[in-house]
A and B are shown apart, each in its own frame.
Chain A
Amino acid sequence: MASIKNLLQLCKGTQYFLQFSNNQKCLLSLAAVRQSSYLSSPPVAPREEYPEVEIVQNAPEWKYVERLMPQKIIPKPIEKPEYPSGWKPQTAASLPDLKYFVARTKNHMVPVYLHTTFRGQRRITVIRRIQGDIWELERELRVVVEKARNGKLCASRVNEMSGQIHFHGDYVDVIREYLKEKGF
């Protein structure tokens, strides 16, 4: 069984060697080894037959590998005085008297979203993760949105149990900027 396998490997190896010139032979031999299949690759031999390798525990170069590997937990954002994207960290958490609180998402973003339905004809701005006096926040946001609509009334929906406010129309940027200014 093993001899047949070796023969097969030899045949497959010689195929490449016979067909091409010397330079290409070397490259292709490497390529052939890299793209080898299970049956064509040689079986694993005992460690003594392979060249000596120094095993290093906790190598200092490992940190260059680690920083390329994906992180399991969302890291804390790097502290800077200003961010070019306009992102601001949350500061309202430390304020003492708050009537309401809008928590950030797990990726440290402000929880304001746009829901589009009916092939883009219905656009609803959703603010999630609201705790505390949601009605007070709705009154304040209504002022902001009506100002953006040049005084026209806006339709809103408050869901106290799930802590959400919906506004008819696309006022995501307006509301997000307002919440960032308040420190949420």
Chain B
Amino acid sequence: MLNLLNKSKSILIPALRNTTVRSTHDAVKEATPLVEVAAPTPPLILPQNWSQYEPVNRSLARQVWIENIDAIPERKLGLIELHPDVFATQPRVDVIQENVEWQRKYRYVSFAHTKTRAEVRGGGRKPWPQKGMGRARHGSIRSPLFRGGGVAHGPRSPTTHFYMLPFFKRVMGLTATLSVKLAQDDLHIIDSVDVPTRDPEFFKELIKERNWGPSVLIVDKDDIFPENICYATDALGYVNLMPSYGLNIYSMLKHDTLVLTVNAVKHIEERLLYQMNRTDATAKGGKFKLDQV
């Protein structure tokens, strides 16, 4: 009993967190804990000074907590500043809708097919003479006027629905969606993507504990993730990993929670800010040329 009291008091005092006096029984119990108390590290404060892309109003920059992913209970590891032109823009819902529509349609190929009057079997002969029958004049029994005839302007397979949304609308869509995610508390930032176990239960409990949405999208800068997180998320269909170059509006809206690493945030910010401030914007936003640089 006394031992327990001593232990709790020492954990409360931060400096003494790692210097508890324990009995052998307690030592055995805590020899293999599910989660180890990490050594106290200094907070990861990351104020950004965007030298090339100075925001119009510095006070509009958003400060977001950097959280941990190495344990189930949430721990705030530090703060990061986010550029307002990427994470605090106007939520252009119309542009977001256009982007989602584009992402759905540009890959779609319609395989609906109908036969024209030339393709329908038969109908090569004039069914009755032009004059004298008292009937309407016809040239073939498979014309679109006839039952069983061909379709005049029907679908022809395969039909592509490819089109490219203007480049800067796609850029604006990304910034608008990121701003919306942040404003609706669906954006979390983690320091790195290192997870302690390969167990998918870890993620299930983490999501439940921290009240993250049912589906989570984890974005890191590189496309190679550590082993543990790959195994853990493989089993779960609603937790997905993505490199920062694969970030898209459809995925961000499909998954309830968006989790970015600090490296991913810096990469995304740098790329989007460059695209929003480039001098050759008119050349870039010009006509789309297929298969050309």
- Other-chain contact of A76, B54, B95, B276 (Cβ < 8 Å): B54
For residue B92, CB closer than 8 A to chain A, the reply is: yes
CB closest chain-B residue, reference A94: B57
Are A106 and B276 within 8 A (Cβ)? yes
- With known contacts A161-B93, A161-B94, A163-B90, A74–B279 Cβ distance under 8 A: yes
In chain B, what residue has the closest Cβ to A129?
B90
Interface membership of B278, Cβ < 8 A: yes
B36 smallest CB distance to A (angstroms): 46
A163 contacts across to B, CB distance below 8 A? 90, 92
Residue numbers in A under 8 Å from B52 (CB-CB): 73
Name B278's contact: one of A74, A76, A161 (CB within 8 Å).
Answer: A74
The answer to whether A162 touches B94, judged by C-beta atoms less than 8 angstroms apart, is yes
| A70 and B279 contact, Cβ closer than 8 Å, known pairs A94-B57, A103-B56 | yes
Interchain CA distance A72-B276 in the complex, whole Å: 11
A–B Cβ pairs within 8 angstroms, 10 of them: A70-B279, A71-B279, A72-B279, A73-B274, A74-B277, A74-B278, A93-B57, A103-B56, A104-B56, A106-B276
Task: Give the top 5 A-B pairs by smallest Cβ distance, nearest first.
Answer: A93-B57, A93-B56, A73-B277, A131-B90, A161-B94
- Among A90, A93, A106, A131, contact of B281 (Cβ-Cβ < 8 Å): A106
| Chain B contacts to A: CB under 8 angstroms | 52-54, 56-57, 90, 92-95, 274, 276-281
B93 and A90 within 8 A (CB): no
Q: How far is the CB of B108 from chain A (nearest CB, A)?
A: 26
Q: Mark A90-125, 1 if CB is under 8 A from B, else 0.
A: 100110000000011010000000000000000000
CA distance A64 to B280 in the complex (A): 22
A73 with B278: CB separation less than 8 A = yes
Evaluate contact between A90 and B56: CB separation under 8 angstroms: yes
Report how far A131 CA is from B94 CA in the complex, Å: 15
CA distance A85 to B90 in the complex (A): 30
A113 to chain B, nearest CB (A): 15
Docked pose: A163 CA to B277 CA in angstroms: 21
Contacts of B57 in A (CB 8 A): 93-94
Please report the C-alpha to C-alpha distance between residue A76 and residue B274 in the assembled complex, in whole angstroms.
Answer: 14
In the bound complex, residues from chain B placing their C-beta under 8 Å from that of A90 are 56
Q: Which residues of B contact A162 (CB under 8 A)?
A: 92, 94-95
Find residues 37-91 in chain A having any chain B CB closer than 8 Å to their own CB.
70-74, 76, 90
| A74 CB contacts on chain B under 8 angstroms | 277-279
